[in-house]
């Protein structure tokens, strides 16, 4: 009886998932193996061959560039985010609440708007450079480079790193830490042997939640990278929006999806090991 009720409750989501997740995914996979849908459907591997063309590896380079930028962005998020989450978790509950709201606050603003405002901050004649010029310091030109994209990624995705780690950290049983201290561990040892291992689940979900949007972004690379540093997301967008080559766009989407699935498989196996999955608020 109970089982039937829960499956009934899951029905709305199952229908939603079928229509909005499974069906589009299936369509993308089908499109990626088809050539020019206007003139009748022909099965082909052409799009994949075009992507993995080793004699002219432009698209592979773009994939490599996307992964490279996403890895650097994720690493910086982790380096900034872990200590931040740790400090946050050590605060009094009241202050902790206020500060964690402050971290989420920028996310209430539109993502596009926030990225646009970085443009006017970073431009040659922008706010930061006008200030540097006023106090006679050399200009700081990172606009339209890979570093501008990394900065945009870190800024936009940092909360996705902090929050899962923070959630895991505040759930650690204080008595475990006390036990370690009673047994003579100093604070370094407590952190290295107890806190860090217990928080790895949060780190794993933080990594997948920042890496995934960073590797597929096209808005950040378009606005801050200036089309000079096209990422895989830009290419996919262009195939659908401008070129109208849906087959090739779909093939690239499938490739990036497989990549993300592999990455997720890796991190989720970590989470299972630790049996302490961290989630967003």
Partner 1 sequence: MKKVLSLLLVFATLLTLALSGCTDASNKNKTLYVYNWGDYIAEGVTDKFTEETGIKVVYDTYEQNEDMYTKITAGGSSSYDVIFPSDYIIEKLIRENLLAEIDYKNVPNMSLIDAKYKNLAFDPDNKYSVPYMWGTVGIVYDTTRVSEEPTSWGVLWDEQYKGEILMWDSVRDSIGLTLKYLGYSMNDHSDAALAAAKAKLLEQKPLVLSYAGDQMKDMMIAGEAIIAVMYSGDAAFVMERNENLSYVIPDEGSNIWFDNMCILKSSKNKDLAEQFINFMCRTDIAATNRDYICYSTPQIEVYNALDEETKSDITQYPDDSIYARCEVYEDLGEYTQVYDDLWTQILAS
Query: Between 216 and 239, whose beta carbon lies closer to partner 1?
Result: 239
Q: Which of 130, 228, 265, 279 binds partner 1 (CB under 8 A)?
A: 228
Task: Verify binding: residue 234, partner 1, rule CB under 8 A.
Answer: yes
- What's the closest the beta carbon of residue 262 comes to partner 1, in angstroms? 23
Residue with token string 């939603």: 16
Separation CA 253–CA 251 (nearest Å): 5
Residue 155 in the binding site for partner 1 (CB under 8 A): no
Contact 237, 157 (CB under 8 A): no
Separation between Cα atoms, residue 20 and residue 25, nearest integer Å:
9
Out of 144, 157, 160, 211, the residue judged to bind partner 1 by CB under 8 A: 144
How many angstroms separate the CA atoms of 244 and 238, rounded?
A: 8
Cβ at position 43, least distance to partner 1 in Å: 19
**Interaction between residue 59 and partner 1 (CB under 8 A):** yes
By CB under 8 A, is residue 39 in contact with partner 1? no
Residue with tokens 């570093």: 147
Q: What is the nearest approach in angstroms of partner 1 to the Cβ of residue 119?
A: 8
User: Which of 207, 238, 206, 205 has the alpha carbon at shortest distance from 221?
Assistant: 238
Measured from the Cβ of residue 59, the count of other Cβ atoms closer than 10 Å reads: 18
Closest to partner 1 by CB, 46 or 274: 46
Q: Which of 86, 155, 240, 270 binds partner 1 (CB under 8 A)?
A: 240
CB of 147 to partner 1, least distance (A): 14
Contact 156, 115 (CB under 8 A): yes
Among 34, 62, 84, 162, binds partner 1 (CB under 8 A): 62
Report the alpha-carbon distance of residue 18 to residue 210 in Å, rounded.
Answer: 26
Q: Where are the alpha helices (DSSP H) in the chain?
A: 2-17, 23-32, 46-51, 58-90, 93-104, 111-122, 127-134, 146-171, 174-182, 187-189, 196-216, 219-224, 232-238, 246-274
Provide the minimum distance between the beta carbon of 181 and partner 1 in the complex, in angstroms, as a whole number.
55
67 binds partner 1 (CB under 8 A): no
Please select the residue that binds partner 1; options are 238, 253, 254, 278, rule is CB under 8 A.
238
Give the residue, chosen from 241, 258, 266, 281, that forms a contact with partner 1 under the rule CB under 8 A.
241
Q: List residues near partner 1 by CB under 8 A.
A: 56, 58-59, 61-62, 123-125, 144, 226-228, 230, 234-235, 238-246
């Amino acid at each position: 009886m109970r089982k039937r009720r829960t499956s009934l409750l899951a029905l709305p989501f199952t229908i939603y998932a079928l229509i909005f997740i499974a069906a589009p995914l299936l369509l993308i996979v089908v499109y990626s193996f088809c050539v020019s849908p206007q003139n009748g459907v022909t099965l082909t591997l052409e799009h994949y061959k075009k992507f993995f063309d080793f004699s002219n590896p432009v698209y592979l380079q773009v994939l490599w560039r996307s992964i490279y930028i996403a890895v650097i962005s994720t690493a910086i998020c982790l380096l900034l985010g872990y200590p931040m989450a740790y400090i946050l978790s050590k605060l009094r509950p009241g202050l902790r609440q206020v500060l964690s709201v402050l971290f989420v606050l920028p996310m209430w603003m539109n993502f596009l708007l926030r990225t646009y405002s970085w443009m006017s901050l970073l431009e040659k004649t922008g706010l930061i450079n006008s200030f540097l010029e006023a106090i006679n310091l050399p200009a700081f030109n990172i606009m339209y480079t890979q570093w501008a994209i990394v900065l945009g990624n870190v800024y936009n995705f940092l909360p996705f790193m902090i929050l899962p780690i923070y959630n895991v950290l505040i759930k650690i049983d204080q008595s475990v830490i006390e036990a370690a201290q009673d047994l003579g561990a100093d604070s370094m040892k407590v952190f290295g042997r107890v806190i860090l291992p217990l928080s790895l689940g949060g780190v794993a979900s933080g990594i997948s939640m920042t890496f995934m949007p960073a590797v597929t972004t096209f808005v950040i690379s378009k606005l801050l990278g200036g089309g000079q540093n096209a990422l895989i997301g830009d290419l996919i967008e262009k195939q659908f929006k401008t070129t109208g080559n849906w087959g090739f766009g779909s093939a690239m989407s499938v490739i990036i999806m497989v990549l993300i699935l592999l990455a997720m498989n890796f991190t989720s196996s970590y989470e299972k090991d630790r049996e302490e999955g961290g989630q967003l608020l």
